[in-house]
């Protein structure tokens, strides 16, 4: 291709798209995958875009879905527009049919905020790794997830399915392989993917999945009805589809924002303390047949898949919500007791403040426990599954932000320099950590293997990303959590020796193949009595923590 001319692709139906070059990468922005879901199409399932003749411009982003702004100075200026069902593509300079791996990004934002056009999600770095990168948008808030009378539920999930169907139909025009699609998302985006993995309609649309801090709590129809009525009450309208359609969009966005930002307001309207946000996917029995974990187990049993999964979480997730607003000091013992009671958990022991205790407990409840459960379920049904833990502590907010929710994003995308990257990680974030995470994600999309041992019930390895060190730990070496206590998951915290092959497998994952002995027998000779040998005990090897093996 001639870099002096804008890149063009021709789709299977004959229509064309014209993008732009950016440092050797082809970029196509604002590509419609469904018709604008407003007017007669509002609150309905997505409708595909008809074929067209000629070449359409794809050099600029489309609007994000309607949402309340993050900037408190812009309270009367809601963001977004009606024509938001679009996707963006970053691709290497490759011909159609090049069979390149494809990565499809689903943004987070609590199902009421976010978009694919944020510079944090720029996919150029993935394209330079030989990946065709796609970012998608979907309906948010009331339009995407409110439980409305006589309307299909989970419209935002249906949008995501429509985008993935579009990828299957057309991504080969950019050199992408529709048989090598990896979906990945963070927070609500990862939760949405957990829902999709349990839906028969998603069969064949993707082949690998990366779930970052998956929030998989859904709502029952009854809970969704309470949420819908709460939104209508705060907005000052009747709880009907007709009233929602006629209401000014600003009023609906204000109502959702108010409920999302004030747990006491949610409680006053009868909403559960277990729901961080007022709108979530709904277990309606049709589109989403059961809670995600049960739906995945049912789906993977009914239709076995060759699906590989990488899943993980951050060490201090809830600090994103409580530290910047100084809420840690304002949370009370009543707030903690309400959550513990509704979640069915034991009251945490220790001398922490109510805010610190609630922050730690919710981090595990909403994010790390779902990640662990997904890994265990995938290991039982699918085969090779990989886990990670992001524990690098951001210096932001006076060093208190830590390994909070979302801090891993600029590292995964290798976009530390962006405004959100600096907001999350500061101006001096470790570039080597970004390189390691970014390359691991790209390698997983290419090969189904991020570069460390798989997580299994016998050897539950977890790769820790914490900055200068490289750790590979077994879950058996970690303390039993309150949630694991409730589930009666009894794990030993004692160190013991593993087999030589297991030692070597762990070291390869940490240090790389070239830096590990090729002949395990050379190590076997010294495995019986480390104290008399000129070798370092396994428990003291840098960056490796090893736990007791499961026997039997």
Residue 179 belongs to a domain with what CATH number? 3.40.50.1820
Of 430, 448, 471, which residue is a domain's last?
471
Residue 120 belongs to a domain: yes
Could you tell me which residues are beta bridge partners of residue 425? none
Residue 115 belongs to a domain: yes
**Cα 212 to Cα 528: distance, rounded to the nearest angstrom:** 40
Phi-psi region of 504 (alpha: psi -120 to 50; beta: other; left: phi over 0): alpha
Short-list 389, 519, 507, 382, CA closest to 453: 507
**Cα 259 to Cα 270: distance, rounded to the nearest angstrom:** 11
Residue 466 belongs to a domain: yes
- Domain of residue 275, residue span: 219-279
Half-sphere exposure of 481 (CA within 13 A, CB side): 17
Of 420, 438, 471, which residue is a domain's last?
471
Q: Residue 469 catalytic?
A: no
CA distances from 159 to 10, 46, 193, 342, 372 (A): 23, 6, 12, 32, 27
What does the block give as tokens for 123? 């996919």
Of 443, 471, 499, which residue is a domain's last?
471
Helices (H) and strands (E) in the chain, counts: 19, 17
- pLDDT bracket for residue 513 (50, 70, 90): very low
20-69 pLDDT, tens digit per residue, is 999 999 999 999 999 999 999 999 999 999 999 999 999 999 999 999 88
What does the block give as tokens for 25? 């990468």
Strands annotated E in 232-290: 282-283
Could you tell me which residues are beta bridge partners of residue 10? 16
**Cα 525 to Cα 54: distance, rounded to the nearest angstrom:** 72
Short-list 68, 72, 58, 73, CA closest to 21: 58
Overall domain count for the chain: 2
What does the block give as tokens for 250? 């600003």
pLDDT at 471: 67
- Helix axis angle, 292-302 relative to 188-197, nearest 10°? 30
Regarding whether 126 and 225 lie in a shared domain, the answer is no
Phi, psi of 540 (to 5 degrees): -105, 5
Catalytic annotation, pick one of 223, 317, 408, 505: 317
- Which comes out higher in pLDDT, residue 275 or 409? 409
**Cα 58 to Cα 88: distance, rounded to the nearest angstrom:** 9
Catalytic annotation, pick one of 187, 202, 368, 391: 187
Regarding whether 269 and 201 lie in a shared domain, the answer is no
- pLDDT bracket for residue 233 (50, 70, 90): very high
Regarding whether 463 and 399 lie in a shared domain, the answer is yes
Regarding whether 272 and 184 lie in a shared domain, the answer is no
Residue 429 belongs to a domain: yes
**Cα 469 to Cα 473: distance, rounded to the nearest angstrom:** 12
pLDDT at 551: 31
What does the block give as tokens for 543? 């960056």
pLDDT at 253: 94
The CA angle 113-119-120, to the nearest 5 degrees, is 75
Contact of 350 with 281, CB cutoff 8 Å: no
Could you tell me which residues are beta bridge partners of residue 283? 220
**DSSP calls for 288-299:** S-S-HHHHHHHH
**Cα 260 to Cα 271: distance, rounded to the nearest angstrom:** 11
Regarding whether 135 and 72 lie in a shared domain, the answer is yes
What does the block give as tokens for 437? 């995470």
**Cα 367 to Cα 313: distance, rounded to the nearest angstrom:** 6
Phi-psi region of 354 (alpha: psi -120 to 50; beta: other; left: phi over 0): alpha
| pLDDT at 507 > cutoff 60 | no
| pLDDT at 371 > cutoff 80 | yes
Indicate the pairing of strand 55-57 with strand 100-106: unpaired
159-218 pLDDT, tens digit per residue, is 999 999 999 999 999 999 999 999 999 999 999 999 999 999 999 999 999 999 999 989
Q: What is the largest CA-CA distance in the chain?
A: 81
Regarding whether 275 and 257 lie in a shared domain, the answer is yes
Residue 360 belongs to a domain: no
For residue 34, give the DSSP letter.
B
**Cα 357 to Cα 324: distance, rounded to the nearest angstrom:** 17
Q: Residue 187 catalytic?
A: yes
Catalytic annotation, pick one of 107, 405, 438, 455: 405
What does the block give as tokens for 491? 């794990």
Contact of 386 with 444, CB cutoff 8 Å: yes
| pLDDT at 483 > cutoff 70 | no
122-150 pLDDT, tens digit per residue, is 999 999 999 999 999 999 999 999 999 99
Q: Which residue has the tokens 């692709």?
A: 9
Looking at the chain, how many residues does it have?
A: 552
Regarding whether 395 and 310 lie in a shared domain, the answer is yes
**Cα 127 to Cα 131: distance, rounded to the nearest angstrom:** 5
Contact of 16 with 54, CB cutoff 8 Å: yes
- Which comes out higher in pLDDT, residue 478 or 174? 174
Residue 63 belongs to a domain: yes
Contact of 241 with 155, CB cutoff 8 Å: no
411-451 pLDDT, tens digit per residue, is 999 999 999 999 999 999 999 999 999 999 999 999 999 99
Contact of 418 with 120, CB cutoff 8 Å: yes
Regarding whether 311 and 254 lie in a shared domain, the answer is no
The helix/strand/coil state of 311 is strand
What does the block give as tokens for 161? 């399915």
Regarding whether 242 and 157 lie in a shared domain, the answer is no
Return the percentage of the chain with pLDDT > 70, whole number: 82
Chain centroid to Cα 166, Å, comes to 21
- pLDDT bracket for residue 304 (50, 70, 90): confident
Q: What pTM, to 2 d.p., does this model score?
A: 0.85
For residue 240, give the DSSP letter.
S
Q: Which residue has the tokens 């886990």?
A: 387
Q: Residue 364 catalytic?
A: no
Mean pLDDT in residue range 261-270: 90
Regarding whether 174 and 145 lie in a shared domain, the answer is yes
Regarding whether 242 and 229 lie in a shared domain, the answer is yes
pLDDT at 333: 93
- pLDDT bracket for residue 526 (50, 70, 90): very low
Contact of 458 with 549, CB cutoff 8 Å: yes
State which H helix or E strand residue 100 sits in.
Answer: strand 100-106
| pLDDT at 228 > cutoff 70 | yes
Residue 1 belongs to a domain: no
Residue 97 belongs to a domain: yes
Dihedral sign from CA coordinates of 377, 380, 385, 387? positive
End-to-end CA distance of the chain: 59
Regarding whether 197 and 273 lie in a shared domain, the answer is no
């Amino acid at each position: 291709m001639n870099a002096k001319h804008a890149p063009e692709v021709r789709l299977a139906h004959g229509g064309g798209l014209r993008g732009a070059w950016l440092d050797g990468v082809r970029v196509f922005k604002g590509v419609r995958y469904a018709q604008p879901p407003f007017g007669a199409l509002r609150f309905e399932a997505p409708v595909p875009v008809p074929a067209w003749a000629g070449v359409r411009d794809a050099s600029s982003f489309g609007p994000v879905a309607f949402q309340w702004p993050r900037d408190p100075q812009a309270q009367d200026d809601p963001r977004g527009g009606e024509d938001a069902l679009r996707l963006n593509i970053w691709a290497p300079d490759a011909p159609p049919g090049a069979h390149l791996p494809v990565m499809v990004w689903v943004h987070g934002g609590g199902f009421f905020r976010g978009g694919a056009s944020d510079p944090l999600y720029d996919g150029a770095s993935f394209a330079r790794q030989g990946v065709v990168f796609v970012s998608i948008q979907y309906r948010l808030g009331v339009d995407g997830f409110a439980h409305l009378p006589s309307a299909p539920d989970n419209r935002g999930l249906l949008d995501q399915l429509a985008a993935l169907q579009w990828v299957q139909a057309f991504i080969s025009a950019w050199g992408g392989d529709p048989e090598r699609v990896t979906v990945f998302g963070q927070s609500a985006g990862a939760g949405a993917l957990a829902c999709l993995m349990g839906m028969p309609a998603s069969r064949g649309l993707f082949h690998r999945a990366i779930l970052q801090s998956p929030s998989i709590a859904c709502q029952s129809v009854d809970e969704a009805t309470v949420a819908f009525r709460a939104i209508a009450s705060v907005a000052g309208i009747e709880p009907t589809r007709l009233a929602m359609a006629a209401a000014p969009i600003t009023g609906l966005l204000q109502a959702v924002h108010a409920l999302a930002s004030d747990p006491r307001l949610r409680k006053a309207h009868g909403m559960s303390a277990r729901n961080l946000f007022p709108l979530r996917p709904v277990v309606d029995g049709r589109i989403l047949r059961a809670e995600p974990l049960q739906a995945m187990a049912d789906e993977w049993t009914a239709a076995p898949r060759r699906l590989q999964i990488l899943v993980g979480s951050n060490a201090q997730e809830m600090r994103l919500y409580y530290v910047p607003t100084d809420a840690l000091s304002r949370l009370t013992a009543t707030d903690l007791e309400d959550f513990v009671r509704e979640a069915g958990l034991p009251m945490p022991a220790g001398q922490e403040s109510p805010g610190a205790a609630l922050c730690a407990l919710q981090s595990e409840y909403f994010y790390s426990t779902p990640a662990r459960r997904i890994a265990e379920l995938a290991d039982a049904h699918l085969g090779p599954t990989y886990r990670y833990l992001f524990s690098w502590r951001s210096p932001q907010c006076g060093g208190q932000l830590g390994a909070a929710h979302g801090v891993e994003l600029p590292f995964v995308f290798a976009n530390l320099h962006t405004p959100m990257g600096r907001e999350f990680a500061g101006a001096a974030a470790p570039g080597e950590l970004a390189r390691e995470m970014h390359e691991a994600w790209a390698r997983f999309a290419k090969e189904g293997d991020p570069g460390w041992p798989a997580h299994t019930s016998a050897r539950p390895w977890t790769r820790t990303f914490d900055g200068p060190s490289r750790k590979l730990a077994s879950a058996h070496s970690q303390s039993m959590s309150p949630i694991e206590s409730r589930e009666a998951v009894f794990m030993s915290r004692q160190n013991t020796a593993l087999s030589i092959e297991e030692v070597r497998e762990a070291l390869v994952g940490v240090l790389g193949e070239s830096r590990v002995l090729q002949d395990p027998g050379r190590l076997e000779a010294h495995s019986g009595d480390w104290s008399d040998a000129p070798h370092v005990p396994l428990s003291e090897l840098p960056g490796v923590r090893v736990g007791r093996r499961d026997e039997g």
